[in-house]
Amino acid sequence: MKMVAKVVNLLSAGIDSPVAAYLLADTGAEVTLLFLDIRPFTDDNTVDAAHELGERLKNLYPNITFYRCDFSSVEKAIAEKADRHFQCILCRRMMYKAAERLAEEIGADAISTGESLGQVASQTLSNLASEDTAVDIPVHRPLIGLDKEEVMRIARDIGTYEISTQPAVCCMLTPDGPRVASTVKEVEREEEKIRADALIERLIFEKVGG
């Protein structure tokens, strides 16, 4: 059965999120990609790869739209004010909040990510639960039950794998010893330090291409 929904998919330059976007679009969902530019905590190669991935996905499904957003103010606040052990969890929560805000602007029904269970510290069951509470909108994770080999196979099939594996710096904020378990109360306390709602309210979304 084809899905009839409008979804904002968080797009990175990695392997997983383009595959998530593709799987959603393949169900019939109307997918809007959102790339959050975190320079100076990443490099130009990463940004270029994300834009190339967006173009590749649009070639596969022409109804896909693509937005970018300067997310550096959020990352700087996290780096300067939050407990470093919570940085990955906070970053994910803030990305969800940004995607939710764009979803509200364009009338989307849900947001989606390329997360799958347990691959990195921010994707443990405990941390995913803490991250979900950041937003009121549903969060879809099309890859949640897939293993990495299966995701890579799909990426190769759709022509995104080579783009995603180009040399690039993903994120320089990842701390040593990130929290692999968290509570909502702990994470919300860290969010208060960075004035999360004010930061999200100031974000500007720029549509890329036609």
For the beta carbon of residue 124, count every other beta carbon within 10 angstroms: 19
The residue ranking higher by pLDDT, 173 or 16, is 16
The CATH homologous superfamily to which domain 6-207 belongs is HUPs (3.40.50.620)
Q: Which tokens sit at 18?
A: 């383009």
Residue 181: predicted pLDDT: 74
Measure the CA angle with vertex 17, ends 5 and 129; round to 5°.
80
Q: How far apart are CA 202 and CA 210, in angstroms?
A: 24
Q: Which one-letter DSSP state was computed for residue 85? A: G
- Does position 78 have pLDDT exceeding 80, yes or no? yes
The residue ranking higher by pLDDT, 31 or 132, is 31
Using one digit for the tens of pLDDT, what is the confidence trace for 87-124? 888 999 999 999 999 999 999 999 999 988 755 555 67
Task: Please check whether residue 172 is in contact with residue 69, taking contact to mean a CB–CB distance below 8 angstroms.
Answer: no
How much of the chain is in helix, strand and coil states, percent to nearest 5? 50, 15, 35
Residue 177: predicted pLDDT: 61
Residue 120: predicted pLDDT: 55
Q: Cβ neighbours of residue 185 under 8 Å, at least 6 residues apart?
A: none
Residues of the chain with pLDDT > 70, as a percent, come to 88
For the beta carbon of residue 165, count every other beta carbon within 10 angstroms: 14
Name the CA radius of gyration of the chain, rounded. 16
Residue 125: predicted pLDDT: 75
Using one digit for the tens of pLDDT, what is the confidence trace for 142-176? 998 898 899 999 999 999 999 999 876 666 666 56
The residue ranking higher by pLDDT, 196 or 182, is 196
Average pLDDT value over all residues in the chain: 90
Q: Which tokens sit at 154?
A: 């799909």
* Domains in the chain: boundaries: 6-207
Residue 85: predicted pLDDT: 86
Closest CA to 42 of 203, 201, 167: 167
